[in-house]
Amino acid sequence: MIAVILDLKKVFLVENTVMQFCAEVDMSEAGTDVTFRDNTVKAAVKVENRAGFVEFTADVGFVCCFDCDRCTKPVSRDFHFQFRHILVLRLSEESGDDYIEAPDYKLDTDTLLRDDILLALPSKHLCKESCKGLCPKCGKNLNEGSCDCVLQEPDPRLAALRKLLEEA
């Protein structure tokens, strides 16, 4: 992966300066269980100096492919996110995670956007919210119909109590 380092010196030094560009983020080595169509994500990026503070905004849209976490069915889904960050040259101790540091007026846009995208993706990938998953005994996809498996097996520790109840 080749990092795209953005030089923001003019934006930081001149108020009301705007820089706009399109970026392609390589997601082939993202280290996630989803795959991105064409292994890239396109982003419309805008960096703007407004009244002395520099704002980074990105509008991203992409298609992800993954296997449903419940039924393992392959799924393809469109995602659209907007990210916004305030850029600073140096972080102070109390600034925390509210700001992104751009030391020497430079910003690695690929890393920032890749992290934003990965954090925005859902942690559980489902084909649909009402997915019933697979039968734990026979493995049948329960979205396609029920199976004849008996799922509730009695707890062997309660056998003595069950025997007492049957006798009563």
Q: What is the pLDDT of residues 25-43, one digit of tens each?
A: 988 887 777 888 888 899 9
28 & 79 share domain: yes
Q: Are 26 and 52 in contact (CB under 8 A)?
A: no
Pairing state between β 99-101 and 74-88: parallel
**What proportion of the chain, given as a percentage, has pLDDT over 70?**
94
Q: Examine the domain organization and report whether 120 and 105 are in the same domain.
A: yes
Q: Are 55 and 84 in contact (CB under 8 A)?
A: yes
Q: Which domain holds residue 166?
A: 132-168
Both 92 and 64 in a single domain? yes
Whether residue 147 sits in one domain with residue 124: no
**Are residues 140 and 117 located together in one domain of the fold?**
no
Q: pTM of the full predicted structure?
A: 0.78
